[in-house]
Structure 1
């Protein structure tokens, strides 16, 4: 449907209204934002609702194992320079949550949508995106997520022939394999600290060669494409070779990489890198991540890390020893119930930090730290950990539901 004509049928309007009513009731009952239950109800009433809501929007989809929520927020902030934006900023990234977000954006021109990796192909089919950002793929939620190569294959098949401009990380072989089926790809050298899911070639299964920052398969010739955008230290290099300084309030190399990918995305819509990066500076925290909060007369910095790749990046940005560190791990449905991924994390990087362990699976984590020869104390809860921690700001690293528990306890 062209122009600004109303894409919503009477049935769709009823679905939107019902979804909003259910969401409001859920919020009033103190059961969270209500976006997921509201979206589920709306999609039950009109299964085509997501496609209808997306019809008059320029849709940008963002998918990855790590960094989706932050990158979505950075793109939305930068793209605001070009017009009103609707986004699922709270991270409800499956079809129900996405439908709820779009239902709330009646005056928007752009929709910046974070999508769970497993749902990317379906959401892309429904929303006909103008742009898709693919950041990384690594192991996550081992008990229920597809193996990474299967996910890459799923992306590859789902994006084949897509009209979207695909912005993809040239440094992640799995992402390159997935994106290579698309006719219009812009490559970004965003880096890849975690390499343990990309030692075999996704094309032929051969062993990947990794000289320096390059990579290629010695057997079939699958290789790193030449990027047109790149993260270089504290700068984004654009396709013309100009270097633009990155000024972020968010910490760490990973967020600079997210900013580089975001700059490449919004350039597709005519927002220049300088304007984009200046607007990204406004983002201080994303759904509580990176927030510094006061709790029991102490400063706690809250850091989310859900899988080995995320923990590796997070260790690189914490303050140096002897800064105290609290680690919290749960294994509920949203985390994945299999904690064997803890053995993939290099905890020797915490040597010299006083470590305090909390969370549902604190004993699993304690065994892992024992093997890594780390000094730690197991605590009943975050209150006890804070009481025992030596002076100074405390870094708190938690996986998904442990992070939500933490935010509720410290009042964030």
Structure 2
């Protein structure tokens, strides 16, 4: 099983583990982890390919969500930058801004502004829609499937009173609390210390228990009990509105919604179907796969669909027995001693596995080679998409 991890601000390793189910079904997905990929579908036009928003593959390629940004003050009241047209991409999010608190992220593609779809409009028109609208800016944004799939957790900032039982001053101390998008709660002595000093403490909220405390006879009090450790943080908000805001934000951080990549969702769904139930396959038929360790050829009934090769024991199988993610693979025709002509699927890096297949005859081999190459071309490396964006005429706006 392949697992991705990252280190949070408190130095703890957090397991994202979003590959379990599809790999347990026998799918080789390792190369898909090595780079970010954009699905461009059947549209091979270089002008359109980096979109991640092609009309056909949109449900496959994009995880959509709605973010609402309350307008602040200053020249850039929402605190983010957008660039390009068709699509419009978020390229900068200011710290401590409405955009950051709403969970807007660099790389998000803007799909709609205040209820109007903007995937096909010019940059200036989308800016006009945002600026003429209400102070509460509503955006529908999409994240491509290469991005971290977890539901964004809201940032939250403000003063809370923290109850203490240690030191010379027992009682309540006013502290500046910051709930980050990674689910870590940290606090400082003063608001001005954020970004200048290390936090006094960092609390990982995932798995924590957050609830109202009415035992003290004091309004707006709530407790936070982290999953690790036996310490209870007793906090008090400054108003009922702040009390509700913090409770909601901390509860969402404590119980994040973990989602699989969209691509994993699609392939997992397809793998549960009989081979002939997969809609619009690009190629299907018998293939023999070489087991490199034993030089034995194993026969599969195979279905090729959108850069994934599904393996079945037979055409009558109820579901796939395994499969191969083809992103980045090169398709070559090779000659081996056992078979006269074979199909070589070579990965972009030697750290990944090379696969060898052979069809029933030379004509079938050529049919599969053509189909495999076309299927792999449906995927574009994200770095190439970014480079294509960078080569476009610059359109940018600070919001």
Q: Which has the higher strand share?
A: 2
* Greater RCO, 1 or 2 (C-alpha within 8 Å, sep 6+): 2
Q: Which has the higher helix share?
A: 1
